[in-house]
Structure 1
Amino acid sequence: MQDYSSDPLVGTLVDGRYLIQSRLASGGMSTVYVATDRRLERDVALKVLHPHMAGDPQFLDRLGREAKAAARLSHPHVVGVLDQGEDDRVAYLVMEYIKGHTLRDVLKDRGALPPRLALALIDPVVEGLGAAHDAGLIHRDIKPENVLIAEDGRIKLGDFGLARAISTSTSTGALIGTVAYLSPELVLGRQADARSDIYSVGIMLYEMITGRQPFDGEVPIQVAYQHVNSAVGAPSERVPGLAAEIDELVQWCTANDPDKRPVDGNALLSELRHIRTNLSDAELDLQPPAARPALPPVPPGPPARRPGSVPDPRTDHGATEVFGGRQQPTEFIARGSNPTTVMSAAPRHPGYGPLTAPDEPAYPEDYFDDGPESSVPANKRAQRRHDRDEERARQRAAATPVRSLREGNPRRRGLLWILVLVIAALLAGSAGWFFGMGPGSPGTIPALTNRTVAEAEQLLRAAGFQSTTRRDVFDDDVGPGLVVGSEPAAGEVIRKFQPVSLAVSKGPELFPLPELTGKTLDEAKTALNAAGMALGEIAETYHETAPAGVVLAQAPPTGAPARHGTPVDLTVSRGPQPIPVPDVRGKKQGEAVEAIEAAGLKAVIAPDTVNDRSVPKGAVVEQDPASGNLTRGGAVTLTISKGPRLVDVPSFVGKQVDEARNALEDLGFEVKVENIFGGFFGTVREQDPEDTKAPEGSVVILRVV
């Protein structure tokens, strides 16, 4: 992982949810970061589009639709799309974060791979691609950089949805995808389909086996031109001894005409696994050739190739080839270095003498070749010519018959010829019937899918085929007991004596659903991916004991047999249900406790009571908490009032009213003045209460004369 501390987005929070930790990589359309989803507390891969794309509303709308389509695809070998959105003109995709490396890293580290490893690595890629094609998704940018290999060995295909959205929002002439893996129809601006992805897979498999891409050039347009106008060569041209089945597989995928490629990823996967099963260990473990050292310069003149070598269409006399990024000269072998040996006793032909004399010496092939004038002395060249002329004369003489075919009785010879002709005529007639109308005549395999075995066998007999076998297979679409297909397939023409094998459905292969209850939602999703199942609807409900985010139930239940891809609905806990705290301040203690317990909470009485001038004795003065929410059984602490405190009321009779009022108010009383005869003198004549205790805040009456 690379961390670019100068990147302005590192350390920022996108859409209030994704905290960008570090930068992983940058390409022509986007930059990828490792971010933490603060809501679910997990690491994700955050792909942020470059500003020139994020500013196009039509493109963003298209990207949203494609991201939703990709998010519905749940497969163990496809990187999941988790979210998509915009934040202040930052358009992003959120994807599953796969910690590990890419197939490109493997190719850089190891170069060409043995067939066993190459086929094992490409298998999950094709399986994931087949699932995407079934879901109506086309990738458009298959390349080693998009094949992710996790630290635990899981292989996933990433970057679904983006290339499709880009291609729909760009001009017709734009090339979308990596040019080294681009199909001819995309180069020509034509409509792409699943077969375009198959072409890219073929190019990638070629590179995995040979250590290099089939086409190269100084500028991308040169590579694109070769995709349209050249055929991909057989990988065995660069890996001698490679099985012919692998050559055929690569060239089937990379045919220029899409109609000549596999129709989708599932069709390719079936053939790929058939090849892996049928190749020998020696063919699977074939080691690619090591880099060859440079040879010394060859003499002028046309070089001779090593016997059995295949000429490279990009090389000519003395040219160099590029293997794994290194230039190496083409090897040339001089004629004299591989002499041809003549057998000491040649085979005989009936009625003829030996083609060579038994005691004839065996000459090297170059013995009869003069070679460069400067390298052979004149007397030796003359001797060679003499020996060569004698050799050719002996061979011409050896070809002369040593006895005549006219020997014997002419009449007997004539009868023999008649018998030979009759037998030949009978054989020709029998062969004509056998191959024209009999068991050897050609027949077309009828369509047998969704037929019962009896119906299929009857159709085959009606078409002239007598030998049939059957094998049971799992199939998700064809019912049990019905024919899935045949080998050879429907429409193929074979001889009628050849056997036809029927594949009969056992129904879909069922797998037990994993235990998901008690797991977190993320753990449940991982378990579903590992089991090859899909995530269904998620319902949330309150639960008093299960923490938020824990799976409470699943449908179908644990252990139920289900086919791969079955959606599993989950019920997830939202945690305990929140309860609003009732306000019981000012209520009598008994009423307050009853109200709190009725809400499902627990009332706790504080040990100390307090005086309060406004709250009567025995009522609630304070509660903690006074508001907000608690979960069931949460405690509310109540503080009970002792009522107002009692204060001594001194006598102010005979005092001036202002003095009395101020003193009583300082003691916490409320003062009420009643004037007698107008209160002309301002002297307190009576006071109520007087010289006793009274509750703080109560009223003291002063009567003034």
Structure 2
Amino acid sequence: MQENVSDPLVGTLVDHRYAIRSRLARGGMSTVYLAEDQRLERDVALKVLHPHFSSDESFVGRLGREAKAAAKLSHPHVVGVLDQGNDGHTTYLVMEYIKGHTLRDVINDKGALPPRLALALIDPVVEGLAAAHAAGFIHRDVKPENVLIADDGRIKVGDFGLARAVTTSTSSGALIGTVAYLSPELVLGRPADARSDIYSAGIMLYEMLTGRQPFSGDVPIQVAYQHVNSTVGPPSALVPGLAAEVDELVQWCTANDPENRPVDGTALLQELRHIRTNLTDPELDLQPPAALGTASPLQGPAAAPAESGQGSHTEFIPHTNNPTSVMPAGRPAPPPYSPAGPAVVHRDAPAAHTGHALTPPGEDDDNTWTPPPLSKRAQRKADREEEKARARAAATPARSLREGNPRRRGILWIIVLVIAALLATGAGWFFGMGPGAAAAIPPVANKTVAEAQRVLSDAGFRSTTSDVFDDDVPTGRVVGSEPQAGAEIRKFQPVSLLVSKGPQLFPLPLLTAGTLDAAKESLNSAGMALGKVTEQFDDQAPTGTVLSQDPAAGTPVRRGTPVAMAVSKGPEPIAVPSVVGKTEKQAVDAIEAAGLAAEVSADEVYDRKVPEGSVVSQNPANGTLTRGETVTLTISKGPRMVEVPSFIGKQAGEAEQALRKLGFEVRVNKVLGGFFGTVRDQDPVDTEVPEGSVITLTVV
């Protein structure tokens, strides 16, 4: 949704390229605008850093690193990064524009979602995160506001504004992220990894299923404290009847210890799709309660919905504001939730959060209660643990069959100590100077494969090779290494050399025979640029049709290659020649020579000025036509023949007037001054002559 607010950047042109139309959203670090890329003629999302951050080199550097890192990540469920730059005091990032709404809008509109819809919405989010994790990136700010849902149904994870390479340290002096979804390790200032994104996704799934966030507080630091010191309860505490597998999935993702979460997005995606496949239709279509006004007694105070202002924006909380606190004594710790097996809790024990809603005890004598039955996955895990316990018990003898003697035991202890010393010495050598020693990977970029392998071998590393595309490094040379140069690893760990295959080439799409607008869309979809556009006349192709392209269709080229096109201006206009007065043959030849068609009208007309057989008129008489259009010619039959009556003996004025009505010209010769005004003679008289002929009257 676009925000109709007054903004000084709206209506301006950034970097002589991006025309800002309107403001889309405002976050903790930046403002996002809808803009038009005037070079490629497409809509983009322009993320502009706030002015007080633009002067901070660390924030500007973070934005630059984001552009370079995220531009390498291409996936259908990740918003693409297109460009980055600076225009004066404006630091910006250009991203793919997704027209639609966010997951936050869905939660605000619908509240708690049925499990089928919630799992379907989270699936592409996890798939996008899995692709990012596989490429070595983490998001660090997963939240419903960053899940974009296009009008055509596509779902993408947006705003990798805080993404960093997994191998890069991400600890900082301030807590960066949205506090409602922050993982405990980020709150504590520890380095983030893929499991931090998994925690945020689990919080988001909890909110989709229940319509609420698991933790709430008056200030962000209270929520952050609960992430570290509390456990996310099962969604079924607010949505009775929710499948146990869904509870376990949420609590697996939101475990306080990262070691107890899925290792990355790929692991979570596999389990998520397994659960979606195995749940029954009634379990998937379970409708949440219409009203969630009363929190479960196990849940504590209900988390406020996102629209209440519970931190939709990225928060910056200095770690000095979050010191370690000492819990008050005398408060028994609740038993931890474990999916491995059921637990028994006495009635007089404090209500503990075990991962399932508690069932009140009956009025029996043992004063105990048991949780609901375990899910299939938890039951399988419990069975495996029981089998291991039985095996350990069977392998341990109940008593010794022979006591032995002290001397023999002493010798055995000496042997054990000698072996332990040898092992300790060997381990010290192995991890200190041998293959297990830690060392920094030397730089190998732009070297040949043989040179790079020799450098790594001299440093004590063994290497493998893998081919990658690269636009800058020549074919056959090393682009870099994985892990990157400077990273410290054990020498026995392999180092992969990334060898350039040269730039990745893509075949150009066919652009001819379509319109210029369609060609531009094809270029954008293929990642190519619009080159020089020329126009030319064409008698066959309609105006705006692409006649040719350079390079030709199918030519393998790099991404961003400009493609020149020739576009039709339609048929060339031809000036209509004037042929009035020419003979019929002369007129037809002149019209056909101009590229037009001549048509002679069957109706000829009299004309006293145009000789018989010549053109008396044409249609059109002037202007322009296109090649092959018709000019109609009308041919003259010459002047009409008119009988000349005799006016001899009549008054000259009467005779002149009558002759002119008949179409003649009159010439008067006066004799003796024409005193009487009587026609004495007339020439010609009583005969047919051509219309317009001259009649001479002699007047006395």
| Structure 1 position 699 matched with structure 2 position 694 | yes
1:632 aligns with 2:587: no
Q: Once superposed, what is the RMSD of the aligned Cα atoms?
A: 5.8
CA contact (8 A) 1:142 1:200 kept: no
Cα–Cα, structure 1 residues 537 and 637, in superposed 2: closer, same or farther, change >3 Å?
A: same
Equivalent position of 1:112 in the other structure: 118
Number of the residue aligned with 1:67? 36
Give the secondary-structure state (helix, strand or coil) at the position aligned to 1:627.
Answer: coil
Residue of structure 2 equivalent to 1:439? 435
Instruction: Spell out, residue by residue over 1:648-701, the C-alpha distance to the aligned partner (whole angstroms, 9 max, x if none).
Output: 111111100111111112112222323222211111122222222222223322
* Alpha-carbon distance in 2 for matches of 1:431, 1:404: 35
Distance 2:500 2:696 in 1: 106
**1:432 counterpart SS class:** helix
Q: Would the aligned equivalents of 1:216 and 1:223 in 2 still touch at CA under 8 Å?
A: no
SS, match of residue 64 in structure 1? strand
Identity percentage of aligned residues: 44
Q: Does residue 1:455 correspond to 2:451, yes or no?
A: yes
Q: Is 1:568 equivalent to 2:530 in the alignment? A: no
Counterpart residue identity of residue 481, structure 2 = S
Q: Distance in 2 between matches of 1:450 and 1:106?
A: 49
> What amino acid is aligned across from residue 307 of structure 1 in structure 2?
Y
Q: Secondary structure at the match of 2:681?
A: strand
Structure 2: how far apart are the matches of 1:419 and 1:344?
32
The residue type equivalent to 1:436 in the other structure is G
Q: Report the 3-state secondary structure (helix = DSSP H, G, I; strand = E; otherwise coil) of the residue aligned with 1:479.
A: coil
Q: Aligned partner of 1:451: which letter?
A: K
Distance 2:406 2:132 in 1: 74
Task: Tell whether 2:510 aligns with 1:515.
Answer: yes
What is the CA deviation profile of residues 16-70 of structure 1, one whole-angstrom value per residue up to 9, with x for unaligned ones? xxxxxxxxxx7432xxxxxxxxxxxxxxxxxxxx8x66xx797345563652357
The equivalent of 1:266 in structure 2 is none
Alignment partner of 1:336 out of 355, 368, 375:
368
Worse overlay, 330-339 or 487-496: 330-339
Matched, 1:307 2:337: yes
Alignment-derived partner of residue 588 in structure 1 = 583
Residues 445 and 631 (structure 1), Cα distance of their counterparts in 2 relative to 1, 3 Å cut? same
Q: Contact 1:245–1:275 at 8 Å: present in 2 too?
A: no
Separation in structure 2 between the aligned mates of residue 571 and residue 665 of structure 1, nearest angstrom? 65
Aligned partner of 1:618 among 613, 616, 629: 613
Q: Please tell me the residue identity of whatever aligns with 2:36.
A: A
Give the aligned partner of residue 675 of structure 1.
670
TM-aligned CA deviation for residue 435 of structure 1 = 0.9
The alpha-carbon deviation at position 512 of structure 1 amounts to: 2.9
SS in 1 for 2:668: strand
Change (3 A) 1:523 1:345: closer
AA aligned opposite 2:337: P
Q: 2:549·2:564 contact (CA, 8 Å) conserved in 1?
A: yes
Which residue matches 2:599? 604
Alignment of 1:217-228 (within 5 A): none
Task: Write out aligned runs for 1:233-248 (5 A).
Answer: 240-242=247-249
Partner of residue 286 from structure 1, selected from 265, 275, 294? 275
Letter in 1 for 2:357: E
Query: What pairs with 1:343-358 in structure 2 (closer than 5 Å)?
Result: none
- Secondary structure of the 1:571 match is strand
Write the distance in 2 (CA, Å) between the matches of 1:683 and 1:124: 120
Match of 2:648 in 1: 653
Q: Is the 8 A contact 2:648 2:682 kept in 1?
A: yes
Which of 148, 151, 171 lines up with 2:150 in the alignment?
148
Matches of 1:228 and 1:550 in 2, distance apart? 60
- Farther-moved stretch of structure 1 (577-586 vs 520-529): 520-529
User: What whole-Å deviation, never above 9, does each CA across 1:298-351 have from its counterpart, x for those lacking one?
Assistant: 899999577249xxxxxxx9999xxxxxxxx99346793349999999969999
Q: Could you say which residue in structure 1 is the equivalent of 2:3?
A: 28
CA distance change for structure 1 residues 299 and 117 in 2, over 3 Å: closer, same or farther? closer
Letter in 2 for 1:211: M
Q: Does the 8 Å CA contact 2:542/2:569 hold for their aligned counterparts?
A: yes
Instruction: Give SS of 1:431's match.
Output: helix
User: CA 1:121–1:430 in structure 2 vs 1: closer, same or farther (change >3 Å)?
Assistant: closer
Distance in 1 separating the partners of 2:423 and 2:416: 10
Residues 486/669 of structure 1: CA separation in 2 closer, same or farther (3 Å cut): same
Distance, in Å, in 1 between the alignment partners of 2:672 and 2:220 is 118
Query: Which residue is equivalent to 2:461?
Result: 465
For 1:605 and 1:460, locate their aligned partners in 2 and report how far apart those are by CA, in whole Å: 91
Contact 2:12 2:19 in 1 (8 A): yes
TM-superposed CA distance for 1:525, in Å, is 4.0
Question: Residue 501 of structure 1 corresponds to which residue in structure 2?
Answer: 496
Change (3 A) 1:535 1:214: farther
* Alpha-carbon contact 1:112-1:208 (below 8 Å) kept: yes
| Aligned-partner Cα distance in 1 for 2:410–2:201 | 68
**For residues 538 and 642 of structure 1, do their structure 2 counterparts lie closer, same or farther at Cα, with a shift above 3 Å needed?**
same
Q: Does 1:211 align with 2:208?
A: yes
Change in Cα spacing, 1:602 to 1:229, as seen in structure 2 (3 Å) is farther
Q: Normalized against structure 2, the TM-score is what? A: 0.57
1:589 to 1:673, Cα distance in 2 relative to 1, 3 A: same
**How far off its partner does 1:498 sit?**
1.2
Partner amino acid, structure 1, of 2:369: S
SS of the aligned residue for 1:702 comes to strand
Distance 1:450 1:237 in 2: 53
Relative distance call for 1:653 and 1:205 in structure 2 (3 A) is farther
Structure 1 letter corresponding to 2:37: K
CA distance in 2, matches of 1:503, 1:529: 29
The CA distance in 2 between the partners of 1:244 and 1:304, in whole Å, is 16
Q: Distance in 1 between matches of 2:130 and 2:41?
A: 19
Distance 1:587 1:657 in 2: 40
Are the structure 2 counterparts of residues 280 and 145 from structure 1 closer, same or farther at C-alpha, using a change threshold of 3 Å? closer
Whether the 8 Å contact between 2:528 and 2:562 is mirrored in structure 1 is yes
The answer to whether the 8 Å contact 2:659/2:666 transfers is yes
Contact 1:125 1:157 in 2 (8 A): no
Cα 1:592–1:275, aligned 2, differ >3 Å: closer, same or farther?
same
CA drift of 1:237 comes to: 7.9
Secondary structure at the counterpart of residue 426 of structure 1: helix
Provide the C-alpha distance between the structure 2 equivalents of 1:182 and 1:682, rounded to a whole number of angstroms: 121
Task: Return the alpha-carbon distance in structure 1 between the equivalents of residues 544 and 356 of structure 2.
Answer: 64
* SS across alignment from 1:643: coil
For 2:667, what is the secondary structure of its paired residue? strand
Task: Describe the shift of the 1:112–1:154 C-alpha distance in structure 2 as closer, same or farther (beyond 3 A).
Answer: closer
Q: Note the alpha carbon deviations across 1:153-198, whole angstroms, 9 max, x for none.
A: 7778999xxxxxxxxxxxxxxxxxxx99999xxxxxxxxxxxxxxx
Query: Once the 2 structures are TM-superposed, how far is the Cα of residue 531 of structure 1 from its aligned partner?
Result: 4.3
Task: Name which of 541, 556, 561 aligns with 2:551.
Answer: 556
Q: Offset of 1:114 from its aligned partner?
A: 4.8
Residue 431 of structure 2 aligns to a residue whose secondary structure is helix
